[in-house]
Structure 1
């Protein structure tokens, strides 16, 4: 009896100890957000102090002799900002992109200023300004930028705090910060004047490491291995970013394969093993369940189709959409189908400078871009006149040179086909009084187009470690694409289109000064007004004149000719055009060109290497045999 009592007592004490341990872990986890919040607040107010100092210096500067002092203060202010950006951008994405560290271009924001033009402002504009020629005019410009930044930072400081962190959101901030470092940091996107990309990335990297270190106080025993692995990867990344190496010579491909992708995956594994459930703060396209920036599911196209008639991932609607995509009955007089301009055998293009119309000998106004990866966007068509894939269909139906018909006419045709009646009922039955209607037709075609994904190229397989084979010239080309050539600062990884990381919530257009044919002797600017003339008052501004959507370079070797007007026949011509600095670099007067007009000074070999890389982005094997 005594032995039994001792045994029961021992078990009871053991259970109490186990219970105490289990209670301790949640408590420690609750402390982590508090510690992160305290560090973040201190760093934010440190940034605010540096902005105050910058504004004071700018306001007191009266001569050009103080230019270098201003430049150093801009650099210091930016470095301090890099300590907070991975968190600030997560919680204040649009404010950050509009006022604090967005591209130094005029903006029309749907979120601020009621659609008015917002002149270039913030840290990138300052980075650019202090590296321009020292003059009284530029000094005045820097003063205006510094005071504007102070006003915006002081305002957001009043409403931004306190920030209520959750442990899962802290990890999401860090993972998104890693994406930002790779796509916007080391590419030079964030530093258009100084090209101080590696130093700034190193500061951001260190801040993310410091933030993650707080998780050690709430770590479960089974997560210690993952924690230590993450510490090593942070150290490895820090060593590479702090190495004595130039911007052009930094090995971005090795950094991606050996640091960025492994760290992105390890953070997810740590989160899972440490029982930190997924609780995203906001809706965006980045899928935090992905383990690799180049995973097929890294971006979720559902984000771009939130308001559609029916979710675009329904196998029945996708199959129906493919039938409609190939059916000429959708056009007037049954003369055209979607395949007419987007042939699966040609990577969903037509191989023509400008697409054929429904009239013999007449062509449409623009080149037909590939539909592979079209779903990774917030705006559609070269002039960005459609806001989702469903509405893109409407424009084709109505266009006089394309289908030139109405949905009523299409519905009447489809209702005479028993197979279509059955398929529409299976896919859309019960949603509306008529199964075959404008929304269901548009939705089915949109579902098919959305399914056209091309993320299994030789490059993807290499960076996902699914193969060890990859050409040496393509490796050099990738590093050039993401570095010296600045291609990756407009064609953002992983889709390599204009949808902006790290949250991929907005798609961009650019003014490149595209010419009528590639003529370096007597170039003539293409007359297409582009985005400025798309019918939206929000886009009807001079700086959108000749502005066109930044489309993907995936499968680019399959989709010649190039540009909105199909004026460039080869990739060599495309690269030569960029190498010259676009239309402005070729001597044309283009006030609003977003592409820098300075020559890239790429050698012939470097151009060949970039093309070699882009050729490894081809992945059309699943679609080439599906055309009519």
Structure 2
């Protein structure tokens, strides 16, 4: 059956030019790309050999005494994989995330097997399994994982090699590799069992350096000095990663400021100096014209809003959307507006555990999240039921506890206002028979929400080298957030939300075991089923029960109380909940909890430091000067 599935997959996706064979440019046929292609293929086959060795080892293992050898082989296999990952993931993003090195969680395959449930597989699943409690059953599980990995690697080898590279894409592979290394590598995301993050990150960086060095054979004279600078950055990065420092003590801020951001910027400048066209092969949210991971346009919200009525960056529609956002005429009886639950003075939240409904004495079912930076996601609402900002508006319009109306009724009201008639005509005139309609109303509000961006916090200015003034406790907190506390493995930089790097294509949800209130003595699990009940067939999976969107922690100092049910009044409560291992760590029966139930062992000072870092993500400069 698996062979049949693989054949079907081949027919479906070979036509997508998985090996990057489309297009030509003068630079493409030179020795650089050919040699890199040969090296890449050689490393891929070495990875394949290590997987084959792992399979032989596990197939012949019958006792617990052989587990150490299996563990060593898994570590070796993963290190070899790190030599190819930055290129393989760029060209084979979805296949890699589904079968080779995705998170060790069940997932719904939207791309390969018709919404089939795919159990945890690949290198991360192996890393986690081999570091769990030893048992014969565990060895059998590892054996199955190894054999599945072999089948997927063999298939990938057949359709992916030989690979034809272009210099532009090669540099983009390295730049996205820098993002991956920082967000998924040194954070420990990629090594959930072994926490062998620094050694694997070293292999990744070294492989990218080896690839970059081929450019020395043929480059413009004006690029030579930049080439030398990049060599120094690679050397410094390897020195930092190879120092005798533990995972918890690793200085991620220094690594970011002195290695990752400089390499990310200088590789682009090197590309420009060599007159290599900026020509991304993959379509994703990362903006390759950006020069810093924390630059305001590092991610492009247009990626998440391709099918909108009009592009969301239109100044006219943004201005119109700002008016609509504050207008109670959008609700039945004119009793509430978007501002009712998303007040700019409260970080675009309302400060309540659950928002006031349109009926006196009633509340909505969930906490009101901020809409600042909400455009940087592929799914919306706590339960991920909406796929874009425009459709998000419709859910509020027809909710009987919120606006409790319909677009036809709203349009009728707006058409009686001469100012709205003019504004809608200026923005949408000639697109449809009626300027004021469901799509134009939704688009205008979405455009305004999409414009609410916040990237000038004290933290952002510090990592962009625009300021040298940054509190020491916040600096310690950042290193904890991205390391020991494991916050950065769900709240991914730079948005610190659940949109997954390095390409930021998909937005995650997590099962945390959220409680009703924060009672560590007699905790009670919240009854909201979350994503499982969002009405989408693809999400009707048992592992999505109690699963909720991972929202951004930017401006979190303004948005208390916290969690989907508003149960946690303070950030101290939130950190203590995570410190205990979530609901399962507090002794509750939580099916499919994605948060580790192991205590984080954070000290009181460390919790204060993490909070100091999160508070340094506050930036109200772009919206608090708006008129009420």
SS in 2 for 1:264: helix
Residue 85 (structure 2) aligns with: 85
Residue 316 (structure 2) aligns with: 316
- Structure 1 portions without partners, runs of 5+: 1-24
| Deviation (angstroms), 1:134 | 1.0
- Asked if the contact 2:28–2:167 (Cα under 8 Å) also holds between the matched residues in 1, the reply is no
Residue 191 (structure 1) aligns with: 191
- Asked if the contact 2:379–2:388 (Cα under 8 Å) also holds between the matched residues in 1, the reply is yes
Residue 377 (structure 2) aligns with: 377
Residue 18 (structure 1) aligns with: none
| Deviation (angstroms), 1:112 | 2.1
Q: Aligned equivalents of 2:627 and 2:275: distance in 1?
A: 48
| Deviation (angstroms), 1:62 | 1.1
Residue 466 (structure 1) aligns with: 466
Deviating beyond 3 angstroms after TM superposition, the runs of 4 or more aligned structure 1 residues are 25-29
Residue 99 (structure 2) aligns with: 99
Q: Aligned equivalents of 1:606 and 1:357: distance in 2?
A: 38
1:422 aligns with 2:422: yes
Deviations 1:399-443 (A, max 9, x none): 000000010000100111111111011101111111111000000
Q: Aligned equivalents of 2:151 and 2:30: distance in 1?
A: 34
1:134 aligns with 2:134: yes
Q: Aligned equivalents of 1:627 and 1:243: distance in 2?
A: 53
Residue 510 (structure 1) aligns with: 510
- Asked if the contact 1:29–1:218 (Cα under 8 Å) also holds between the matched residues in 2, the reply is no
- Asked if the contact 2:27–2:166 (Cα under 8 Å) also holds between the matched residues in 1, the reply is no
- Give the alignment of 1:166-181 within 5 angstroms: 166-181=166-181
Q: Aligned equivalents of 1:593 and 1:549: distance in 2?
A: 14
Q: Aligned equivalents of 1:342 and 1:258: distance in 2?
A: 38
Q: Aligned equivalents of 2:27 and 2:367: distance in 1?
A: 60
| Deviation (angstroms), 1:105 | 0.4
Q: Aligned equivalents of 1:84 and 1:156: distance in 2?
A: 13
Residue 66 (structure 1) aligns with: 66
Residue 595 (structure 1) aligns with: 595
1:573 aligns with 2:578: no
| Deviation (angstroms), 1:26 | 5.6
Q: Aligned equivalents of 1:32 and 1:303: distance in 2?
A: 32
SS in 1 for 2:521: coil
| Deviation (angstroms), 1:623 | 1.6
- Asked if the contact 1:99–1:149 (Cα under 8 Å) also holds between the matched residues in 2, the reply is yes
- Asked if the contact 2:453–2:622 (Cα under 8 Å) also holds between the matched residues in 1, the reply is no
- Asked if the contact 1:345–1:626 (Cα under 8 Å) also holds between the matched residues in 2, the reply is no
Residue 10 (structure 1) aligns with: none
Residue 210 (structure 1) aligns with: 210
Deviations 1:310-357 (A, max 9, x none): 100000000000000000000001001000000111110000000000
| Deviation (angstroms), 1:31 | 1.9
Q: Aligned equivalents of 2:427 and 2:379: distance in 1?
A: 26
| Deviation (angstroms), 1:591 | 2.2
Residue 494 (structure 1) aligns with: 494
Residue 456 (structure 1) aligns with: 456
1:409 aligns with 2:398: no
SS in 1 for 2:30: helix
Q: 1:28 to 1:144 in 2, by over 3 A?
A: closer
Q: 1:266 to 1:27 in 2, by over 3 A?
A: closer
Q: 1:98 to 1:28 in 2, by over 3 A?
A: closer
Q: Aligned equivalents of 1:422 and 1:478: distance in 2?
A: 48
- Asked if the contact 1:532–1:545 (Cα under 8 Å) also holds between the matched residues in 2, the reply is yes
- Asked if the contact 1:346–1:624 (Cα under 8 Å) also holds between the matched residues in 2, the reply is no
Deviations 1:363-392 (A, max 9, x none): 000000000000000000000000000000
- Asked if the contact 2:27–2:167 (Cα under 8 Å) also holds between the matched residues in 1, the reply is no
Provide the aligned length of Structure 1 versus Structure 2: 604
Q: Aligned equivalents of 2:623 and 2:28: distance in 1?
A: 52
Deviations 1:39-88 (A, max 9, x none): 11000011001001101111111111100000000000000000000000
SS in 1 for 2:70: helix
- Asked if the contact 1:28–1:218 (Cα under 8 Å) also holds between the matched residues in 2, the reply is no
- Asked if the contact 1:28–1:217 (Cα under 8 Å) also holds between the matched residues in 2, the reply is no
Q: Aligned equivalents of 1:436 and 1:622: distance in 2?
A: 28
Residue 3 (structure 2) aligns with: none
- Asked if the contact 1:309–1:440 (Cα under 8 Å) also holds between the matched residues in 2, the reply is yes
SS in 2 for 1:548: strand
Give the aligned CA root-mean-square deviation in angstroms: 1.0
Deviations 1:208-258 (A, max 9, x none): 000011111111111000000000000000000011110000000011111
SS in 1 for 2:114: helix
Q: Aligned equivalents of 2:394 and 2:255: distance in 1?
A: 44
TM-score by length of 1: 0.95
| Deviation (angstroms), 1:32 | 1.4
SS in 2 for 1:427: helix
| Deviation (angstroms), 1:516 | 0.1
TM-score by length of 2: 0.95
Q: Aligned equivalents of 2:442 and 2:410: distance in 1?
A: 11
- Asked if the contact 2:308–2:443 (Cα under 8 Å) also holds between the matched residues in 1, the reply is yes
Q: 1:216 to 1:135 in 2, by over 3 A?
A: same
| Deviation (angstroms), 1:627 | 5.9
Q: Aligned equivalents of 1:170 and 1:600: distance in 2?
A: 39
Residue 306 (structure 1) aligns with: 306
| Deviation (angstroms), 1:29 | 6.8
SS in 1 for 2:368: coil
Which of 1 and 2 has greater Rg? 1
Residue 43 (structure 2) aligns with: 43
